[in-house]
């Protein structure tokens, strides 16, 4: 894969997260009935940053949960090599609260479909909202984000590479292009 | 990330990476079992035949629960109600079942090698739930999972497996699997109940219990399989209990943190005193709970793929 264009650097990512944070606060009047859940893998760190910002601004004490959707994927029958099952840990009761699901990139919508099914197995939330940093279009299911850092029209031979400091050592988002031998 | 094996026939020859992947995956399933709805849709549409030619309570129930927790469709086949009693051969039985479009077979049989034989006559994924005196790999995996959960690691730990080693497929699977994971295993039992060729297991054997227990982090007692004893392997149950049974008195000589395990069912008061089986060092019920998570992991990891 080769880099095409820098979509966001660390500063731009922070601005996007700050804006999403404010939108979440605006939309959810009762922050005592709000839960933030990050999706494996990079969504976890983005969710923690959003929760930290909400806690700073509103003096709340929101915890973040972690959701792995591997067991809910729709391509299990196709994939001979099974993806590794990762940790799911939701340390609060989701019954009756609003849950903000946080993921890095929204693409086909299949991962979110799986996440909705997975979340419902933990109870019956009042609502589920979706926050993503990049909405790259090309949906295959009727799913949309409530909060998006930026919307980007991408092509099938392109990828969005989102890196976070906590895991990758830097904050950056690049648009990549697949090469013939990828 | 995937297993390099396609069937689970035993732990002999299974790599450290494969065993680690199964145990790590089982940890994740442990969390699934604690959810409000402890069922995931992963194996929806997969048909799994539980082919039990030999009696079993916990293994069969454990597999069936694991299958249901993964949303697979289990079909139970046990020898008493099958056409085996009408004289059908094993090959015909499996061919007929396969003709009904199945994906996986969990098999228990009193003859060693039946799971391997089945891989030769069907395309389904085969999981060994105990074959004769050969192996019982999912039991050894759940034993290792339990130890890893309790102590935090496997490497370098000493495990004493005590009892009727000769008739125990659990001891065999554990010996192979634990050795692969870098553990020190000692097999201990009356001379007449030790394997004739222990060198094939690659671990030391002894009929001296104190030697086996010395420095052990884990003691696993095996059930004295009274139904499998030919006469004269040991003088009396009383003498067996005196020399190889674990009671509070013997336990008091061991490390305070020693784990006491048993694959069940227990002969209370023979290989294991009741107050030890129910005491603070015992992890016997955790073993049973972990059995479901381990079997879910095995089914998940082997069940994928178009032909799987």
Phi and psi at B28, nearest 5°, equal -65, -40
What is the percentage of chain B residues whose pLDDT exceeds 90? 76
Averaged over B91-97, what is the pLDDT? 88
**Does pLDDT of A82 surpass 80?**
no
**Helix B137-151 vs helix B284-302: crossing angle, to nearest 10:** 120
pLDDT band, very low/low/confident/very high, at B208 (cuts 50, 70, 90): very high
Are A143 and A108 contacting, i.e. CB atoms less than 8 angstroms apart? no
For residues B62 and B142, state if they share a domain.
no
3-state secondary structure string across A69-108: CHHHCCCCCCCCCCCCCCCCECCCCCCCCEEEEEEEEECC
Residues 6+ apart with CB under 8 A from B99: none
Residues B280 and B151 in one domain: yes
Q: Are residues B92 and B24 in the same domain?
A: yes
In this predicted structure, which of A77-91, A159-173, B215-229 has the lowest mean pLDDT?
A77-91
Q: Position of tokens 């990139």?
A: A105
Same domain, B121 and B170: no
The answer to whether A16 touches A9, Cβ cutoff 8 Å, is no
Q: Per-residue pLDDT for B230 more than 70?
A: no
- How many angstroms separate the CA atoms of B102 and B127, rounded? 13
Output the pLDDT for position B82: 62
Model confidence band, residue B56 (pLDDT cutoffs 50, 70, 90): confident
The stretches of chain B forming alpha helices (DSSP H) are: 16-32, 58-69, 90-98, 114-121, 137-151, 169-180, 209-213, 237-244, 248-251, 274-277, 284-302
Do B206 and B174 share a structural domain? yes
- Which of B35, B70, B306 faces A122 most closely, judged by CB atoms? B35
Distance from CA of B89 to the nearest CA of A (A): 32
CA A91 to chain centre: 18
Instruction: Read off the pLDDT band of B216 (50, 70, 90).
Output: very high
Q: What is the arithmetic mean of pLDDT over B202-208?
A: 94
| CB < 8 Å from B in window 109-138 of A | 117-118, 121-123
Pick the CATH number of A2-75+83-177 from 1.10.4010.10, 3.40.50.2020, 3.30.1330.20, 2.170.270.10: 3.40.50.2020
Q: Which of B37, B300, B301 sits opposite A121 (nearest CB)?
A: B37
Cβ atoms of B187 and B238 closer than 8 Å: no
Residues forming beta bridges with residue A36, ordered by sequence position: A64, A100
> Residues of chain B whose C-beta is under 8 A from some C-beta in A?
1-2, 21, 24-25, 28-29, 31-32, 35-37, 39-43, 45, 70, 297, 300-301, 303-306, 308
Cα–Cα separations (whole angstroms), residue A156 to A107, A138, A143, A179, B300:
10, 8, 18, 12, 30
Tell which residue, A70, A93, A87, A67, has the closest CA to residue B41: A70
Place of tokens 């008061």: B269
Domain presence at residue B118: yes
B62 and B188 inside one domain: no
Contact state of B28 with A81 under an 8 Å Cβ cutoff = no
List C-alpha distances in Å: B219 to B142, B152, B182, B225.
Answer: 15, 17, 17, 18
Residue B106 has pLDDT above 80, yes or no: yes
pLDDT tier for residue B100 given thresholds of 50, 70 and 90:
confident
Pair (B144, B252) in one structural domain: yes
**3 state DSSP class of B297:** helix
With respect to residue B295, please indicate whether it lies within any of the assigned structural domains.
yes
Is the CB of residue B218 less than 8 Å from the CB of residue B258?
yes
Let me know whether B168 and B266 are in one domain: yes
Q: For testing the chain A interface, which of B23, B31, B33 should be mutated: the one with the most A CBs within 10 Å?
A: B31
What are the structure tokens assigned to A145, written together? 């984000």
What residues of chain A lie within 8 A of the CB of B29, using their CB? 85
List pLDDT tens digits, range B5-46: 999 999 999 999 999 999 999 999 999 998 888 999 999 999
| CA-based nearest residue to A50, from A18, A28, A23 | A18
A78: left (phi over 0), alpha (psi -120 to 50) or beta: alpha
- Compute the average pLDDT of residues A88-112: 96
Query: What is the predicted pLDDT for the residue at B305?
Result: 61
Chain B CB contacts of A123 below 8 Å: 36
Mean local confidence (pLDDT), B210-229: 90
The strands making up B73-78's β-sheet, listed across from edge to edge, are: B73-78, B47-52, B104-109, B125-131
| Predicted local confidence at residue B307, as pLDDT | 42
The predicted pLDDT at position A176 comes to 95
Inside any domain, residue B141: yes
Considering the domain architecture, whether residues B163 and B269 belong to the same structural domain is answered as yes
CATH number of domain containing B48 = 3.40.50.1370
Q: Is the CB of B39 less than 8 angstroms away from the CB of A121?
A: yes
pLDDT mean over A127-147 = 97
* Residue written as token pair 């940093």: A133
Please provide the DSSP assignment of A110-155 as one string: HHHHHHHHHHHTT---SEEEEEEEEE----SSS---SEEEEE----
* Domain match, B83 and B213 both: no
pLDDT confidence band for B188 (50 / 70 / 90): very high
B203 assigned to some structural domain: yes
pLDDT tens digit string along B147-158?
Answer: 999 999 999 999
Please say whether the beta carbons of A173 and A8 come within 8 A.
Answer: yes
Q: Is the pLDDT of residue A180 over 90?
A: no
Contact at CB, B300 and A87, closer than 8 angstroms: no
CB contact under 8 A, B28 and A88: yes
Is some CB atom of chain B closer than 8 A to the CB atom of A91? no
Nearest to B294 by CA among B114, B102, B92, B58: B58
Chain A, nearest residue to B298 by Cα: A82
What is the ipTM for the molecules in this complex? 0.81
Radius of gyration of the CA atoms of chain B, in A: 19
Do A77 and B41 make contact, defined as CB atoms within 8 angstroms? no
A37-52 tens-digit pLDDT: 999 999 999 999 999 9
**Domain boundaries, position B44:** 16-133+289-302
Q: Percent of chain B at pLDDT above 70?
A: 95
Of A72, A81, A89, the CB nearest to B2: A81
Closest CB to B306 among A68, A78, A122: A78
Domain count along chain B: 2
Q: How far is A44 from chain B (nearest CA, A)?
A: 17
The pLDDT-based confidence of B240 (bands split at 50, 70, 90) is: very high
In angstroms, the separation between the Cα of residue B237 and the nearest Cα of chain A is 47
List pLDDT tens digits, range B78-88.
776 566 667 78
Q: Do B21 and A89 make contact, defined as CB atoms within 8 angstroms?
A: no
How many residue contacts between A and B have a Cβ separation below 8 Å? 65
Ranges of each domain in chain A: 2-75+83-177
Subunit contact A84:B36, Cβ cutoff 8 A: no
- Which of residues 25 through 54 in chain A touch B, CB cutoff 8 A? none
- Residue B305 with chain A: CB contacts under 8 Å: 77-80
Q: What is the pLDDT of residue B83?
A: 63
Check pLDDT > 80 for residue B141: yes
- What mean pLDDT, rounded, does chain B reach? 92
Does one domain contain both B174 and B281? Answer: yes
Q: Tell me which of A82, A91, A95, A114 to substitute to probe the interface with B (most B C-beta atoms closer than 10 Å).
A: A82
What pLDDT is attached to residue B308?
36
Tell me: do B203 and B259 sit in the same domain. Answer: yes
In a domain, B114, yes or no: yes
């Amino acid at each position: 894969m080769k880099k095409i264009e820098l979509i966001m650097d660390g500063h731009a990512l922070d601005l996007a997260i700050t804006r999403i944070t404010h939108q979440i606060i605006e939309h959810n009047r009762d922050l005592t009935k709000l839960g933030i859940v990050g999706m494996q893998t990079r969504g976890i760190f983005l969710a923690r940053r959003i929760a930290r910002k909400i806690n700073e601004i509103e003096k709340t004490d929101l915890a973040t949960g972690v959701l792995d959707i591997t067991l809910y994927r729709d391509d299990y029958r196709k994939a001979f090599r099974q993806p590794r099952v990762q940790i799911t840990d939701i340390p609060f009761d989701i019954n009756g609260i609003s849950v903000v699901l946080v993921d890095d990139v929204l693409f086909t919508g299949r991962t979110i479909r799986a996440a909705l099914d997975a979340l419902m197995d933990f109870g019956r939330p009042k609502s589920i909202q979706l926050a993503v940093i990049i909405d790259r279009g090309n949906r295959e299911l009727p799913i949309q984000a409530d909060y998006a850092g930026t919307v980007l029209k991408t092509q099938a031979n392109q990828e969005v590479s989102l890196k976070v400091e906590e895991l990758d050592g830097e904050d950056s988002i690049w648009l990549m292009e697949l090469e013939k031998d990828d | 990330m995937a297993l390099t094996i396609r069937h689970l026939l035993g732990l002999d020859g299974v790599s450290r990476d494969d065993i680690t992947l199964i145990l790590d995956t089982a940890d994740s399933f442990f969390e699934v079992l604690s959810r409000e709805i402890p069922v995931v849709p992963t194996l929806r549409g997969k048909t799994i035949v539980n082919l039990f030619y030999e009696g079993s309570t916990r293994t069969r129930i454990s597999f069936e629960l694991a299958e249901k927790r993964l949303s697979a469709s289990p079909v139970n086949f046990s020898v008493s109600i099958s056409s085996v009693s009408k004289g059908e051969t094993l090959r015909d039985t499996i061919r007929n079942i396969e003709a009904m479009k199945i994906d996986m077979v969990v098999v228990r049989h009193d003859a060693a090698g039946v799971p391997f034989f089945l891989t030769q006559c069907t395309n389904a994924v085969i999981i060994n739930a105990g074959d004769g005196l050969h192996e019982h790999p999912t039991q050894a995996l759940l034993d290792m999972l339990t130890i890893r959960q309790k102590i935090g690691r496997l490497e370098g730990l000493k495990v004493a497996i005590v009892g009727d080693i000769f008739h125990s497929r659990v001891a065999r699977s554990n010996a192979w699997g634990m050795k692969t994971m870098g553990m020190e295993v000692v097999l201990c039992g009356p001379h007449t109940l030790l394997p004739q060729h222990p060198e094939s297991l690659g671990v030391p054997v002894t009929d001296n219990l104190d030697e086996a227990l010395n420095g052990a982090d884990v003691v696993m007692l095996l059930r004295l399989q009274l139904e499998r004893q030919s006469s004269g392997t040991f003088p009396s149950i009383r003498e067996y209990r005196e020399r190889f049974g674990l009671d509070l008195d013997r336990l008091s000589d061991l490390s305070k943190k020693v784990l006491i395990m048993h694959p069940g069912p227990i002969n209370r008061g023979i290989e294991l005193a009741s107050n030890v089986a129910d005491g603070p060092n015992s992890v016997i019920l955790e073993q049973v709970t972990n059995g479901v998570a381990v079997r879910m992991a095995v089914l998940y990891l082997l069940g994928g793929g178009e032909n799987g």
